[in-house]
Structure 1
C-alpha cells in the first residue's frame, strides 16, 4: 500500500491552497455557493453541493499543444 501526502492551508477566508505529492491547487468559494479549483496541472473544476444526495461537478483539462516535428530525409 503506497503512502499519500496531502495538505490544505487556509490562506484567506474562502481561499485554500491544497498541496499533494505531484501538484498544488487553489480553491475559492464557500460552503454555500459554488467552488472553483485551479490546479498546477491545468485542471479547472467547478463544483456545488445541492440539497439532498445531489451534487454538481464540471471539470475541464487544459490540453497541451504538440510541437511540430520535422522529417529528415
Structure 2
C-alpha cells in the first residue's frame, strides 16, 4: 500500500491552500450554495458546485502544452 500525503490549510475565509506530494492548489469560494474555483500548480483549473440532493457539477480544464 503506497503512502500518500495531503494537507489543506485555511488561509482566509473562503480560501484554502491544498498541498500534496506532487503539487499545490488554491481553492476559493464554495460558500453555502456557490461555486468553488480551484487553480493547481500543474495548470489544471476546476470549477465545481454542489447541487440539491445527491448531485454535483464539475468542469475541469488543463493548460495546453506547446509543441516545440
TM-score range, shorter chain: over 0.9
Deviating above 3 A after TM superposition, structure 1's stretches of 4 or more consecutive aligned residues are none
Query: TM-score, structure 1 length as denominator?
Result: 0.88
How much is the aligned-residue C-alpha RMSD, in angstroms? 0.7
The correspondence of residues 25-36 of structure 1 with structure 2, limited to 5 A, is 25-32=25-32, 33-36=34-37
Which has the higher Rg, Structure 1 or Structure 2? Answer: 1
| Unaligned runs of at least 5 residues, structure 2 | none
Q: Number of residues paired by the alignment?
A: 67
Partner of 2:20: 20
Query: TM-score, structure 2 length as denominator?
Result: 0.94
